[in-house]
């Protein structure tokens, strides 16, 4: 089966993409998930390959193995908050460092992410005049697959400075639109464990 062709937002609406690779990989035994091999290639390389055609700039949020991540050819932005504070800390760094006014995030452990992720999120964001668009399959939102406005940076930085860490709680304070990807549900599979990684071999 041929790979889907990535779709881009209109040329006048550039987007910064952020690959979130800043976690500890606890469920995979404490290893750096993005660097684990799937079919002989690091998962993060496969995520980059699918996201890069959809965006105009790409950043990698990582907190360890920074040189190895930098070797993929994109700027690496570690969390400003110590202690592996979670995906919101990675999003904060993306918003702080983005060149463009819209920022899309994806996790490093979802190597099958949709080739039309960003354009579909953008269309819903623009139509709804929302602060943030998030992917959903059925009744399940996927909060780390989002597109948001860079102007949210100050709001998020203040939330984190106040000790907030829960992504759903922060989203609840914003105008959020959910975008149904039921037609591509399997594209959002996270490979969180070694068993899941092994089961996904050959799928790409």
Query: 3.50.50.60, 3.10.50.40, 3.20.20.70, 3.90.550.10: which CATH number matches 15-199?
Result: 3.90.550.10
Local confidence band at 1 (pLDDT 50, 70, 90 cut-offs): very low
Question: Does 5 or 109 have the greater pLDDT score?
Answer: 109
Domain ranges in the chain are 15-199
Q: Quick: pLDDT tens for 27-77.
A: 565 678 999 999 999 999 999 999 999 999 999 999 999 999 999 999 999
Contacts of 135 (CB under 8 A, 6+ apart): 117, 121, 141, 142, 145, 146, 178, 179, 181, 188
Q: Is pLDDT above 90 for 184?
A: yes
Percentage of residues in the chain having pLDDT higher than 90: 76
DSSP 10-78: -TTS-EEEEEEE-S--GGGTS--GGGSEETTEEHHHHHHHHHGGG-SEEEEEESS-HHHHHTTSSEE--
Average pLDDT over residues 160-175: 94
Question: Distance (Å, rounded) from C-alpha 127 to C-alpha 129?
Answer: 6
DSSP-derived letter for residue 160 is H
The pair of three-digit structure tokens given for residue 165, joined into one six-digit string: 């860490």
pLDDT in tens, 102-138: 999 999 999 999 999 999 999 999 999 999 999 999 9
- Is a pLDDT exceeding 90 seen at residue 25? no
């Amino acid at each position: 089966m041929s790979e889907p062709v990535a779709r881009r937002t209109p040329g006048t609406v550039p987007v910064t993409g952020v690959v979130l690779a800043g976690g500890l990989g606890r469920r995979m035994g404490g290893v750096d998930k993005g660097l684990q091999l799937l079919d002989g290639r690091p998962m993060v390389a496969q995520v980059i390959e699918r996201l890069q055609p959809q965006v105009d700039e790409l950043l990698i949020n990582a907190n360890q193995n920074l040189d190895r991540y930098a070797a993929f050819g994109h700027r690496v932005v570690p969390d400003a908050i110590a202690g592996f504070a979670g995906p919101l800390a990675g999003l904060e760094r993306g918003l702080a460092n983005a060149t463009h006014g819209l920022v899309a995030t994806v996790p490093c452990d979802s190597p099958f992410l949709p080739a039309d992720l960003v354009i579909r999120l953008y269309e819903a964001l623009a139509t709804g005049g929302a602060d943030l668009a998030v992917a959903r399959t059925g009744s399940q939102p996927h909060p780390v697959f989002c597109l948001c406005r860079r102007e949210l940076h100050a709001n998020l930085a203040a939330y984190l400075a106040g000790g907030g860490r829960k992504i759903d709680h922060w989203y609840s304070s914003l105008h959020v639109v959910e975008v149904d990807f039921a037609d591509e549900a399997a594209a959002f599979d996270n490979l969180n464990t070694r068993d899941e990684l092994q089961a996904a071999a050959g799928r790409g």
